[in-house]
Amino acid sequence: MPLLETGAGGAGRTTQEGRLRPVKLYRSSVHPHRWIVHIQGSGWMMFPARHNGWEERGPARGLDPLYLREVPLRLASDTGLPQSEESLDFAEVA
């Protein structure tokens, strides 16, 4: 699912260039209770695999691609992960 690249107007809006940023959701056998998201141009984030876990998202470090498996974004729908390009906000990641 592509994301609109963050510009001065906030996340989820087009930049002056209007480029899209793809988002991919992953599961990891090393982190079985967390979802992992990769946003092109922003990097990797991790959040708890539970209801509203997206609110506790943070940067993901030290990931080994050998243990990652891409999954459909809809699998994390109950976590609060925004499902539309317009509602994704990555500027507030701690």
**Does residue 47 sit in helix, strand or coil?**
strand
* Average pLDDT estimate for 72-89: 72
Chain segment 2-56, per-residue pLDDT in tens: 444 444 333 333 344 555 567 899 999 999 999 999 988 888 999 999 999 999 9
DSSP sequence for 83-94: -SGGG---TT--
Q: What is the pTM of this model?
A: 0.67
pLDDT tier at 88, thresholds 50, 70, 90: low
